[in-house]
Structure 1
Amino acid sequence: MSVSVIRRIAAPKKALTAVALVAASAGIAMTAAPAHAATTSSAAQAQAIAHKMIPDAAQYNAFANIVKHESNWNVSATNASSGAYGLVQALPGSKMASAGSDWKTNAATQIKWGLDYMNSRYGSPAAAWNFWQANNWY
């Protein structure tokens, strides 16, 4: 193998190593996420998804109040003492797998599960919010 071929192979590796070192020193993790993993990176995105899934304003507001108190719209919120997980603090979080295999990272999956839970247990998000106000949990 010629020296010029080795240099062409080594140069990109050196560049990638330099980028990784700069990223690490800046506290940025360089990881690859699976292409199929749908994630929600902000509270605003999760709220927009919930608005689409819950068109009734009163029901959306009730749902939003619960989520604000439970997780502050953080898809990966975890309760350190109980292990409850996600926007709606499912306990255990793996219950949300019934709504989709991407339950750990997908706001739409967590919202769907939360709505189903609120509707089946309380009749509606508004009724769940009423219960939450009286008990500080739902």
Structure 2
Amino acid sequence: MSPISVRGFAVASATAVTTVGAVVGVAAAGPAAASSDNVEATAADGTLLADIPAGQQAQVQTASLTQQADAQSAQASAAAKKSAEEAARLRAAQDAKAKKSAADKSKADKEKADKDAKARDLETQTASRSASRSSSTFQVQSSYSVSDVQAIARQIIPADQFQCFSNIVNNESSWNYRATNGTAYGLVQALPGSKMSTVGSDWQTNPATQIKWGLNYMNERYGSPCGAWSYWQAHDSY
């Protein structure tokens, strides 16, 4: 192989042809090869394409195009990798945001549940303290009018529960602390009436004792007088 041929192959493997259009024109031997500009195709190191044997010029062109294709493929791969990394980053950020939102909601729900539980406990404690007042706190009388009994009840029953308690007493005894119906007795018609002795032995004559027992019963069984009233409305009893 001649020195020129060796140089041609070296150029093909290490450099690109600077004027591809001119090379194509030379290879095709068409009119474009003989343009008025007289542009000669050269390799990057300044070697004229014309100095390379005609049989090897196609190999030079192929090597150049292969290098260009490899470079474009590398650029496309890098762009695709960058795009995939960005998409993964965005997904990770979205997942982290969703997890934080779920955690915040769970925390808020727990705090609300705890707050509601504390409020219920406080309400129950307040009702229990009111109900635990001794019947001796109230002046014992030989008899009580409806207004007397209601005044006592207002001192024992929490204000927000009084109307519900009153609704039940109205239906059960019309505020008559001596009302009887078989073995049921008193304002809240305890059945049997003797159940109220757990609060005081004067359950037959003292409305305060009956009111305290009735409040305790409603709290324990229905959660509150209003809970008992809701049940009463559906069943005509409690």
Alignment TM-score, normalising by the size of structure 1: 0.69
Which residue of structure 2 aligns with residue 86 of structure 1?
A: 186
| 1:50 maps to 2:150 | no
| Deviation, structure 1 residue 54 | 1.5
The letter for the 2-side match of 1:130 is S
Residues 70 and 88 of structure 1 are in contact (CA less than 8 Å); yes or no, is this contact kept in structure 2? yes
1:119 aligns with 2:222: no
What secondary structure, in the 3-state scheme, does the structure 2 residue paired with 1:108 have? Answer: helix
SS in 1 for 2:219: helix
Residue 109, structure 1, aligned to residue 212, structure 2: no
Offset from partner CA, 1:96-123 (integer Å, 9 cap, x none): 0001010001010000000000000000
Deviation at 1:40, TM superposition (A): 4.1
CA–CA distance in structure 1, aligned partners of residues 186 and 217 of structure 2? 14
| Shift in Å, 1:55 | 3.3
Q: Paired residues, what number?
A: 100
Higher RCO (C-alpha 8 Å, min separation 6): 1
Structure 2 counterparts to residues 124-135 of structure 1, below 5 A: 124-135=224-235
Radius of gyration: which is bigger?
Answer: 2
- Counterpart-to-counterpart distance in 2, 1:127 and 1:54: 14
**Secondary structure, counterpart of 2:218 in structure 1:** helix
Amino acid at match of 1:76: R
Secondary structure in structure 2 of the residue aligned to 1:64: helix
Distance apart, 1:38 and its partner CA? 4.5
Residue of structure 2 aligned with 1:74, choices 161, 176, 179: 176
Correspondence for 1:62 among 150, 164, 170: 164
Look up the equivalent residue of 1:68 and give its one-letter code. N
1:108/1:99 Cα in 2 relative to 1: closer, same or farther (>3 Å)? Answer: same
Judge conservation of contact 1:66–1:129 (CA < 8 Å) in 2.
Answer: yes
Contact residue 40 and residue 107 of structure 1 kept, 8 A: no
Name 2:195's counterpart in structure 1: 95
**2: CA distance between counterparts of 1:63 and 1:88?**
9
Amino acid at match of 2:205: T
Separation in 1, partners of 2:158, 2:171: 21
TM-score by length of 2: 0.40
Q: Which amino acid aligns with 1:73?
A: W
Assess, with a 3 A threshold, how the Cα gap between structure 1 residues 39 and 121 changes in structure 2: closer, same or farther: farther
Question: Counterparts of 2:216 and 2:157 in 1: how far apart (Å)?
Answer: 12
Structure 1 residues without counterparts, runs of 5 or longer: 1-35
The answer to whether the 8 A contact 1:54-1:60 is kept is yes
Counterpart CA distance in 2 for 1:107 and 1:98 is: 14
More helix by share: 2
Q: Percent identity?
A: 60
Partner secondary structure for residue 185 of structure 2: coil
